[in-house]
Structure formats: C-alpha cells, structure tokens
Structure 1
C-alpha cells in the first residue's frame, strides 16, 4: 500500500474533465489490483533512482564508460545515454556515421 509520501501530488491538467465523469466505481479483480500496485511501486522506485542514475552515468562516461556499456548494464537504450552525454557536454569518441553531423564526402 502506498503511503502519502509515495503518492505524487495531483495537479489539474488543462482540459481535464472534472466532476462525475472523471471517476468511476471500477474495482479491479484481486490479481489485477496486485499487478497494478506492484507496477506503481516499481514506477515510484524508478522515479527515486532517476537523479542518482543520471549523475552516476555522467560521472562514469567522463571516466571512460561508453554509452553501449551503460545501456547494457541498465537496460536503457543507447539513445538515452547519447542524449545524456550531449546534455552534459561530453565529447564523442568517434564522429557520427549518419545524420547531419556525418562526413559529407560519403
């Protein structure tokens, strides 16, 4: 069961339907309720790890880890770490092989 500290603050979104249409009296069966609760706990745990993961990944990339190494170890995609490295100003180890920054003589 989630404690109030684990529950994210709910904010109204623009255009959100409020009132009677916003809620239903749906109650999932026990197996579905367990699965949903387990998933919610996992999502909240990942949210807590997001900051430390980013900081550690940047530190390790500066120490020599490749985006492929981090992707393999964490399960996140290469692109996730590629973007993180770009945001942190970490230099590429090799030039890109495709896209706008690649060698035009190809």
Structure 2
C-alpha cells in the first residue's frame, strides 16, 4: 500500500479568519450590543391562525405531507434579536489586522 500526501490550500476572507479566531480569543470579537424584542400581539395572532390552518389540513384526508420522516410544525413566535455594532465592518477588520501584526 502506497501512501500519498496531498496539499490543499483554501482561500478564506479576512472576515472568516477573524470570526474563527474570535471563537478562542475574545479580542477578535466584533463588539456589539444585543437587543431582544419579545414577540408582538400580531406575531401571536398569526401563530394562532397558523395553528388553526394546520389543524384544518390535518383533518383533511387528502393532505400530503413533506415526507414519512417528519410532519409539519408550527413553531411559537421567538423574540427578535438585533445587534447594534460599536464599530464599522472596516474598523473591526482593521483592529483585528492590527492584533495579528502585533502577535507576529
């Protein structure tokens, strides 16, 4: 049996590199404030309508579902999450690039 070594180079963007580094080094995180907004009354009303529609489909004998392994689900409304970034994308990349150069 012969073993062969193959080398592969994959190009990734600076953004992907720094996002990966941020998993182990919090200095690479893009600074942001997380805002969570609970579901509105309108969201809950649409959810109720969707549940009623699902029940009507389930009651109809001719309904065909997506496949034998799963059914159709109607998930409850979830809070909306938004982020307010403390620096622009370019400022974040520049800060991370500077961190990289200081470590070299």
**As a proportion of its length, which structure holds more helix?**
1
Mark yes or no: TM-score above 0.5.
no
The structure with higher relative contact order (CA 8 Å, sep 6+) is 2
* Structure having the larger proportion of residues in strand: 2
Higher alpha-carbon Rg: 2
With structure 1 as the length reference, what TM-score do the two structures score? Answer: 0.25
